[in-house]
């Protein structure tokens, strides 16, 4: 239920009534007295008031719901400081250098400077965009305890892990087990206030009472806080983490790192791979290689010699070091589900910090429900689904057809996926941090902060890809996008710790808190190995109140020049060389205020392996009120400026002035493919031009004035902001100070209330362009940049009054503006401003979180919240803006309406004219000078006969010179009867017909003779005439001898005796001198005398069937041949026919 109206009985003064009337008149709408609504997040009646508002019923402050405990809501916040190791009465006062603020010097425990390796940021790593089956239980529940206990009880049953008390953070192994899985519940457009907090039983035990509802999600319910344009920008990448107390890292995110601690599959070396500079993630004191390719075993320490941080002292994402990094791409909406794993009891904080959280993505173009509104916080055990669309500002009005590849995301394969929006709004280096009402300083200081890199077609994170769009900043090349080999995130912040070595903060101070040691990536004076080549450093001042001024020197204390390429996460129009020209100081950055970011490029190739360089801080503080100013670099590095530590403090100087990070040069054997920033300085190439407003827009823009000062506040909340010269107010989340409409351009003047204070003012949601500083032009590094932190104060590179131009687009809701000296913010230099829909009359209600869900209370608005205090600028504009369309602002001969320097439009032919003003014959969005197919007929210009006027023998519209002429005879193949020039017409050329060419003569067989028509051409036919006789034996072809007249050449027939006469014609075929008819080899007859002749061919005198040669009685006279006188011719005296010798 909505609480009763807290503004009943407020007395309206004259000024309130006047401006209230103006507001109604301007918006032509009647006063709404209120209509009962079912959805408590809906708009509430418009109330104009400058009165201080009473606290909500039952509370003392808007965030008091965070403090409810066993005895209800306490009367004050004293429970939060009970466990501080230095009570308020023991704070030290009266020192010149009050560092750390009110505390004793932080002991070093024997730590030595520059002897520990600097930690690289650890990527969160994306999850599958789905809900897992059989999810692991939430840490700290009985189910989780059952899985992570140890040993067996007397009955042999597993002993569960001990139950958490209200003072505890969950077990680290349970945290990693839970986070290392897909989401356990689906992300929804509306808040999930039906599912219950997994710590419901613990919370009820802690509160000492039953509860009706403990929703799992801390996002305020209803349409008013639903995810805007959810259907257009549904999450495509999913991340999750838990904010919890410090613990040892067990390395579960190792497999989620994009680099994978491996080299590229294409062979590109990766410095995170084996043998690379960053393969070993942290110092392994025993040299056992435990940190090779993993963060497993890394404790939360500022230095290996110092104590490990307790979970009550330091809270951070996952509860672990290294600090975390989120990598995103334009056009790929992100869901970041954050869980609160902090103690139930707010006193379990070691005396500072509050256990409720609200995360601001600084400075994303995000809808209000995901911007981290200060009074939209969530409790222990709850989650909050932050949906960050990652779109370009101008999505709805500029490049809406996504035709410009400069507005794009890397596609993972070397290409670009175009996205809508203004490419000039491309951002780069962000961070996100807690924004809890009244406790931002303490919670961020305590560790609730991470960095975020945006990648785009312009800032791809791949220095090797040269597509004419990618700016090729130093990065690496083993991944298609997001390489971090030579792209380094640095968060620099001052810290202090107590005599036990535990992180310490002074919560009793409202001027500003100062630590006494400057840490880099949470480490005390580390070293960092760098290859001898160019590096990009993304530098964030993550302090509470400390301003920085950084210099770079070599080991001989010589200044080292470098280039700035980004300011506050915005790639600049021109790089700025810090070489002593154009108002810069050689080797020294300008002041870096809290939350400001500078991206710089340093070229280490001019140094040799073994050389060392140093980052040096020059900005001196004596306390939190303001910086005293920079110390000359020569005094710092020579030792003339020296801080000396005594038991009760420091004398002689600020201990955070001096060297704090050492670079150690290592050999580089690769090729540096990154851009040369010197080519992009003013007068040279442009990186990303500013989306400048026009002079006409500025002249008619609503103007507002915000004065940051110390007056009309209270002892506990002394800091105030005046709006449009009205009263100075401390923060009340129920008060709307300004309400631009969607689509508006406005001019905001930010001014310092004086008294020597300094304020880095941050405006959420939109980047601004500085128009003037104290009526003068901004310096070179701000002239070419968009900003989201604006420094006002007495510093030499700051100002008292600054005018900026801001556009408000795409999303509506409640946002904030505040001093980013977060001690000032928390006490209470912070205001709410809303983006409203055009014509809106009523106001958004204000969320009021409690353990049992978010209620809503009514909102009031200041009298000028919609009309401001005028139009246009107060001081003359000191930066280039866009004049009338027909004017020529830059005197280059091109009118503004057609000058891309003014319009920000495309100029693909680099002739200085916006493409929108040039001819596009085929209306395809590409102007003719850049269009490869001017008339859109699908034929490239160089081959289009309409343009070349050349020959076109086949009348297809293409010039013959662009078509294939295989034999180079001047006739294209389409028109050439013999396209390969081999003398064979195409229709008979096997190369063209793809037919059979059995004789490999190049001719298709269908074009050759086939005498017997058997389908085989004669050159390949073994029997050309089809008579059954192979060609080689066919008399018709051989014209040889054919004695037997059988058609076969005798040379193919049998000639047994090789006498030249085939057997069929040979009387003596075996050549043995015996005619075939008498040759027993042929006749197979009798051959009794074995002389080879058939017996039938031999003499048988007595015709008795036995040839004479074998006959014992040749003449058949009865007398054997041996005794037959007729045979023997012997004597036969008795004339009886017998030889006498036988008688």
Domains, the chain, with CATH or none: 61-71+120-225+244-248+318-349+364-399+423-455 (2.60.40), 82-111+475-689 (2.60.40.420), 695-817+853-871 (2.60.40.420), 884-918 (no CATH), 1099-1143 (no CATH)
Tell me: pLDDT of 21 over 60. no
Q: What is the DSSP letter of 317?
A: E
CA pair distance 524, 304, nearest whole angstrom: 10
CA atoms within 13 A on the CB side of 421: 25
CA distances from 439 to 218, 425, 444, 1095 (A): 18, 31, 8, 139
> pLDDT, tens digit, for every residue of 586-625?
999 999 999 999 999 999 999 999 999 999 999 999 998 8
Q: Are 375 and 733 in contact (CB under 8 A)?
A: yes
| The predicted structure's pLDDT at residue 9 | 36
Q: Is 937 left (phi over 0), alpha (psi -120 to 50) or beta?
A: alpha
Please name which of 498, 444, 445, 447 lies closest in space to residue 85, comparing C-alpha atoms. 498
Beta bridge pairs of residue 1127: none
What is the b/e burial string over 614-627, where b = at least 16 CB atoms within 10 angstroms of the residue's CB? bbbbbbbbbbbbbb
SS (H, E, C) 325-340: EEEEECCCCEEEEEEE
The pLDDT of 339-366, averaged and rounded, is 98
Using pLDDT thresholds of 50, 70 and 90, give the confidence band for residue 17: very low
Centroid of chain to Cα 545 = 31
Helix (H) or strand (E) holding 529: strand 527-531
Tell me: pLDDT of 715 over 80. no
> pLDDT, tens digit, for every residue of 617-627?
999 999 988 89
Residue 9, number of CB atoms within 10 A of its CB = 8
Hey, which bits of 764-873 come out as E strands?
Answer: 769-773, 789-792, 801-807, 813-819, 830-835, 846-850, 853-857, 860-861, 870-871
CA pair distance 322, 281, nearest whole angstrom: 9
CA pair distance 714, 712, nearest whole angstrom: 7
Length of the chain: 1143
Top-ranked range on mean pLDDT: pick from 20-29, 706-715, 918-927: 918-927
Tell me: pLDDT of 446 over 80. yes
CA distances from 243 to 300, 382, 695, 763, 1110 (A): 14, 11, 47, 25, 130
Tell me: pLDDT of 771 over 50. yes
Tell me: pLDDT of 10 over 50. no
Tell me: pLDDT of 545 over 70. yes
Angle subtended at Cα 377 by Cα 320 and Cα 224, rounded to the nearest 5 degrees: 135
Tell me: pLDDT of 14 over 80. no
Centroid of chain to Cα 571 = 17
Using pLDDT thresholds of 50, 70 and 90, give the confidence band for residue 146: very high
Q: Is the four-CA dihedral 469, 472, 476, 477 of positive or negative sign?
A: positive
CA distances from 819 to 161, 708, 786 (A): 45, 8, 18
The pLDDT of 996-1011, averaged and rounded, is 87
Residue 61, number of CB atoms within 10 A of its CB = 20
Residue 1116, number of CB atoms within 10 A of its CB = 13
Q: Are 242 and 319 in contact (CB under 8 A)?
A: yes
> pLDDT, tens digit, for every residue of 643-701?
999 999 999 999 999 999 999 999 999 999 999 999 999 999 999 999 999 999 999 99
| The predicted structure's pLDDT at residue 992 | 82
> pLDDT, tens digit, for every residue of 231-264?
999 999 999 999 999 999 999 999 999 999 998 7
| The predicted structure's pLDDT at residue 989 | 84
> pLDDT, tens digit, for every residue of 917-975?
899 988 888 898 888 998 998 889 888 888 888 888 888 889 888 888 888 898 888 89
Q: Is the four-CA dihedral 17, 23, 29, 34 of positive or negative sign?
A: negative
Using pLDDT thresholds of 50, 70 and 90, give the confidence band for residue 135: very high
| The predicted structure's pLDDT at residue 267 | 62
Q: Are 927 and 934 in contact (CB under 8 A)?
A: no
| The predicted structure's pLDDT at residue 886 | 81
Tell me: pLDDT of 23 over 80. no
Q: Are 860 and 736 in contact (CB under 8 A)?
A: yes
CA pair distance 322, 282, nearest whole angstrom: 9
Tell me: pLDDT of 335 over 60. yes
Q: Are 728 and 708 in contact (CB under 8 A)?
A: no
What's the pTM? Answer: 0.81
> pLDDT, tens digit, for every residue of 98-133?
999 999 999 999 999 999 999 999 999 998 888 888
Please name which of 1098, 1105, 1099, 1143 lies closest in space to residue 1124, comparing C-alpha atoms. 1143
What is the b/e burial string over 745-758, where b = at least 16 CB atoms within 10 angstroms of the residue's CB? bbbbbbbbbeeebb
Give the contacts of 1028 (CB within 8 A, at least 6 positions apart): none
CA pair distance 486, 60, nearest whole angstrom: 51
Tokens at 629, concatenated: 């100013």
Tell me: pLDDT of 1071 over 70. yes
Tell me: pLDDT of 1049 over 90. no
> pLDDT, tens digit, for every residue of 180-219?
999 999 999 999 999 999 999 999 999 999 999 999 999 9
Q: Which residue has the tokens 């009387």?
A: 1067
User: What are phi and psi for residue 967, nearest 5 degrees?
Assistant: -95, 5
- CA terminus-to-terminus distance, the chain: 169
The pLDDT of 986-1002, averaged and rounded, is 85
Tokens at 328, concatenated: 């995103």
Hey, which bits of 153-285 come out as E strands?
Answer: 237-245
Q: Are 734 and 376 in contact (CB under 8 A)?
A: no
Tokens at 997, concatenated: 């060419």
Residue 1115, number of CB atoms within 10 A of its CB = 16
| The predicted structure's pLDDT at residue 791 | 97
Q: Is the four-CA dihedral 807, 708, 754, 796 of positive or negative sign?
A: negative
The pLDDT of 290-306, averaged and rounded, is 96
CA pair distance 652, 611, nearest whole angstrom: 31
User: What are phi and psi for residue 425, nearest 5 degrees?
Assistant: -95, 10
Q: Are 549 and 593 in contact (CB under 8 A)?
A: no
Give the contacts of 776 (CB within 8 A, at least 6 positions apart): 799, 878
Tokens at 886, concatenated: 């027909």
Tell me: pLDDT of 328 over 90. yes
Tokens at 293, concatenated: 């390719």
CA distances from 1036 to 1017, 1022, 1026, 1049 (A): 17, 13, 11, 9
Tokens at 135, concatenated: 């999810």
Q: Which residue has the higher pLDDT, 173 or 3?
A: 173
Residue 1136, number of CB atoms within 10 A of its CB = 11
CA pair distance 153, 157, nearest whole angstrom: 5
CA pair distance 1027, 488, nearest whole angstrom: 89
Q: Which residue has the higher pLDDT, 1025 or 529?
A: 529
Tell me: pLDDT of 412 over 70. yes
DSSP 163-177: PP-TTPPPPHHHHHH
Pairing of strands 408-410, 416-418: antiparallel
Q: What is the DSSP letter of 852?
A: T
| The predicted structure's pLDDT at residue 69 | 97
DSSP 778-806: PPHHHHT--BSEEEESSSTT--SEEEEEE
What is the b/e burial string over 481-519, where b = at least 16 CB atoms within 10 angstroms of the residue's CB? bbbbbbbbbbbbbbbbbbeebbbbbbbbbbbbbbbbbbb
Name the average pLDDT for the chain.
Answer: 92
DSSP 296-315: TT----SSTTSPPPPTTT-E
Q: Which residue has the tokens 């429970």?
A: 79
CA pair distance 535, 605, nearest whole angstrom: 10
């Amino acid at each position: 239920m909505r609480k009763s109206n807290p503004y009943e009985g407020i007395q309206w003064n004259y000024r309130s009534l006047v401006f209230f009337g103006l507001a109604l008149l301007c918006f032509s709408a009647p006063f709404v007295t209120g209509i009962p609504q079912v959805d408590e997040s809906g708009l509430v009646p418009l109330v104009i008031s400058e009165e201080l508002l009473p606290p909500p019923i039952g509370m003392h402050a808007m965030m008091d719901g965070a403090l409810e405990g066993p005895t209800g809501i306490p009367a004050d916040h004293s429970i939060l400081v009970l466990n501080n190791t230095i009570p308020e009465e023991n704070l030290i006062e009266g020192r010149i250098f009050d560092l750390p603020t009110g505390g004793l010097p932080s002991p070093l425990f024997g730590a030595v400077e520059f002897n520990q390796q600097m930690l690289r940021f650890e990527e969160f790593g994306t999850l599958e965009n789905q809900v897992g089956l059989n999810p692991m239980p939430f840490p700290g529940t009985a189910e989780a305890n059952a899985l992570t206990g140890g040993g067996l009880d007397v009955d042999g049953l597993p002993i569960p892990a001990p139950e958490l008390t209200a003072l505890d953070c969950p077990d680290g192994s349970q945290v990693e087990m839970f986070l290392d899985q897909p989401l356990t519940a689906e992300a929804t457009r509306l808040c999930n206030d039906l599912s219950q907090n997994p710590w419901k039983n613990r919370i009820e035990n802690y509160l000492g009472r039953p509860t009706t509802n403990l929703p799992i999600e801390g996002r305020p319910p209803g349409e008013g806080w639903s995810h805007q344009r959810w259907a257009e920008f549904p999450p495509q990448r999913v991340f999750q983490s838990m904010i919890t107390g410090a613990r040892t890292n067990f390395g579960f995110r190792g497999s989620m790192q994009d680099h994978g601690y491996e080299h590229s599959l294409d062979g590109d070396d990766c410095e995170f791979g084996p043998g690379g500079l960053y393969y070993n993630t942290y110092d392994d004191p025993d040299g056992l290689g435990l940190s090779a390719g993993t963060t497993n075993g890394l404790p939360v320490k500022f230095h290996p010699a110092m104590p490990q941080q307790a979970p009550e002292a330091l809270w951070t994402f996952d509860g672990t070091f290294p600090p975390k990094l989120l990598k995103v791409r334009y056009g790929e909406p992100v869901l970041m589900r954050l869980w609160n794993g902090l103690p139930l009891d707010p006193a379990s904080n070691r005396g500072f910090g509050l256990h409720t959280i609200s995360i601001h993505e600084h400075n994303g173009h995000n809808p209000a429900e995901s911007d981290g509104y200060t009074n939209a916080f969530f409790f222990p055990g709850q989650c909050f689904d932050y949906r960050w669309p990652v779109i370009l500002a101008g999505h709805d009005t500029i490049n809406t057809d996504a035709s410009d590849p400069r507005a794009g995301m890397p596609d993972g394969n070397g290409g670009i996926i175009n996205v809508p929006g203004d490419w000039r709004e491309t951002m780069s280096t962000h961070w996100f941090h807690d924004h809890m009402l009244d406790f931002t300083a303490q919670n961020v200081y305590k560790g609730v902060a991470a960095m975020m890199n945006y990648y785009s077609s312009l800032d791809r994170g791949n220095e090797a890809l040269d597509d004419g769009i990618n700016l090729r900043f130093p990065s690496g090349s083993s991944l298609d996008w997001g390489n971090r080999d030579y792209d380094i995130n640095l968060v620099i912040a001052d810290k202090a710790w107590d005599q036990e070595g535990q992180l310490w903060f002074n919560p009793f101070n409202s001027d500003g808190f100062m630590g006494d040691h400057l840490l880099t990536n949470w480490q005390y004076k580390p070293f960092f190995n760098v290859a001898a080549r160019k590096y990009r450093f993304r530098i964030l001042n993550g302090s509470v109140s400390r301003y920085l001024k950084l210099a770079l020197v070599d080991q001989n204390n010589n200044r080292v020049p470098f280039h700035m390429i980004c300011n506050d996460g915005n790639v600049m129009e021109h790089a700025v060389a810090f070489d002593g020209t154009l108002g810069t100081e050689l080797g020294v950055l300008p002041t870096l205020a809290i939350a400001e970011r500078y991206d710089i490029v340093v070229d280490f190739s001019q140094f040799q392996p073994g050389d060392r360089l140093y980052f040096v801080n020059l900005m001196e503080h004596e306390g939190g009120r303001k910086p005293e100013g920079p110390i000359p670099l020569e005094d710092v590095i020579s030792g003339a400026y020296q801080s000396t530590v005594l038991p009760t403090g420091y004398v002689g100087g600020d201990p955070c002035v001096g060297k704090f990070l050492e670079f150690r040069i290592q050999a580089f054997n690769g090729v540096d493919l990154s851009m040369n920033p010197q080519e992009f300085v003013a007068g040279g190439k442009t990186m990303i031009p500013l989306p400048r407003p026009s002079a006409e827009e500025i002249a008619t823009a609503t103007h507002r004035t915000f004065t940051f000062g110390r007056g009309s506040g209270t002892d506990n909340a002394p800091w105030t902001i005046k709006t449009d010269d009205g009263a100075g107010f401390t923060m009340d989340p129920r008060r709307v100070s300004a309400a631009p409409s969607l689509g508006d351009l406005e001019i905001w003047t930010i001014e310092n209330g004086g008294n020597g204070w300094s304020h880095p003012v941050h405006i959420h949601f939109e980047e601004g362009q500085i128009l003037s500083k104290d009526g003068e032009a901004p310096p070179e590094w701000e002239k070419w940049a968009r900003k989201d932190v604006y420094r006002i104060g007495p510093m030499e590179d700051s100002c008292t009054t600054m005018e900026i131009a801001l556009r408000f687009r795409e999303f509506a809701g409640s946002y904030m503006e505040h001093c980013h000296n977060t001690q000032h913010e928390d006490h209470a230099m912070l205001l709410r401003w809303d983006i409203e829909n055009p014509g809106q009359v009523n106001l958004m209600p204000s969320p009021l979180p409690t353990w049992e869900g978010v209620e809503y209370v009514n909102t009031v608005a200041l009298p000028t919240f919609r009309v401001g205090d005028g139009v246009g600028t107060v001081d003359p504009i000191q930066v280039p803006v866009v004049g009338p369309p027909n004017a020529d602002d830059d005197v280059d001969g091109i009118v503004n309406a057609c000058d891309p320097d003014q319009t920000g439009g495309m100029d693909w032919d680099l002739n200085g004219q916006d493409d929108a003003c040039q001819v596009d014959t085929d209306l395809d969005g590409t102007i003719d000078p850049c269009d490869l197919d001017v008339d859109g007929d699908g034929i490239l210009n160089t081959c289009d006969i309409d343009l070349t006027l050349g020959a076109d023998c086949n009348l297809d519209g293409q010039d013959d010179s662009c078509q294939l002429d295989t034999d180079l005879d001047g006739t294209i193949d389409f028109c050439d009867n013999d396209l390969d020039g081999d003398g064979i017409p195409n229709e008979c050329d096997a190369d063209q017909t793809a037919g059979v060419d059995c004789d490999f003569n190049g001719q298709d067989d269908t074009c050759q003779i086939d005498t017997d028509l058997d389908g085989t051409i004669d050159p390949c036919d073994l029997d050309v005439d089809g008579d059954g006789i192979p060609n080689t034996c066919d008399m018709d072809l051989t014209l040889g001898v054919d004695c037997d007249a059988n058609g076969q050449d005798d040379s193919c027939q049998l000639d047994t005796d090789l006498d030249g006469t085939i057997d069929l014609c040979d009387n003596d075929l075996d050549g043995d001198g015996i005619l075939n008819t008498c040759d027993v080899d042929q006749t197979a007859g009798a051959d009794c005398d074995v002389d080879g002749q058939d017996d039938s061919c031999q003499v048988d005198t007595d015709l008795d069937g036995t040839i004479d040669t074998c006959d014992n009685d040749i003449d058949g006279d009865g007398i054997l041949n041996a005794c037959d006188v007729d045979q023997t011719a012997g004597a036969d005296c008795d004339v009886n026919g017998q030889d006498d010798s036988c008688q």
